[in-house]
Amino acid sequence: MFDFEKLDIYKKAKIFNSDVRVLIKSSKFDPTTKDQLRRASFSIVLNIAEGSGRFSKADRRHFYVISRSSIFECIAILDVLKDEMVIDENQFKLFYFGAEEISKMLFTMIKNLH
C-alpha cells in the first residue's frame, strides 16, 4: 500500500471526485464545463497523492496548495452552475460542505509544512 492511500484527506478527496463524476454523468452540462469540473476534481486527488511522494517539505506543500486551489475551482464552477439553475441549492450545498472540509484539512497540512 502507498502512503497516500492511508491518508484520510486522500479518501475524502476520492469520494468528492466520485460524487462529481456522478453529477457530471447525470446532468446536462456543456462539454467545456464537464471537462473543467472533471479535471479540477481529479486534480484534488492526484495532487494529494503526488505531494505525499515528495521528499522536501516545500515540494509536498506545493502539491497540497495546487490540490486546495482545485477545490476552489470546483466550488466556483458549481456556484456558477447553481446561479444558472443547472444544479439546485441542495446539490451545491452537499458539494460545498464536502469541499470545505477537504480545504480545511489541506490548509492544516500546508500550514504544518512551513
Any idea how long the chain is? 114
Predicted local confidence at residue 114, as pLDDT? 87
pLDDT tens, position by position, 57-96: 999 999 999 999 999 999 999 999 999 999 999 999 999 9
Residue 12 belongs to domain with CATH number: 1.20.1440.60
In a domain, 63, yes or no: yes
Predicted local confidence at residue 51, as pLDDT? 97
In a domain, 26, yes or no: no
pLDDT tens, position by position, 26-52: 998 999 999 999 999 999 999 999 999
Burial of 34 (0-12, 13-18, 19+ CB in 10 A): middle
In a domain, 29, yes or no: no
**Alpha helices by DSSP H, the chain:** 8-26, 31-52, 57-83, 89-111
Question: Which position has the grid cell 444544479?
Answer: 87
Domain that residue 107 falls in: 3-21+35-111
Question: Which position has the grid cell 472540509?
Answer: 101
The count of structural domains within the chain is 1
Report the run of H or E that residue 54 belongs to, with start and end: none
Cell of 114: 512551513
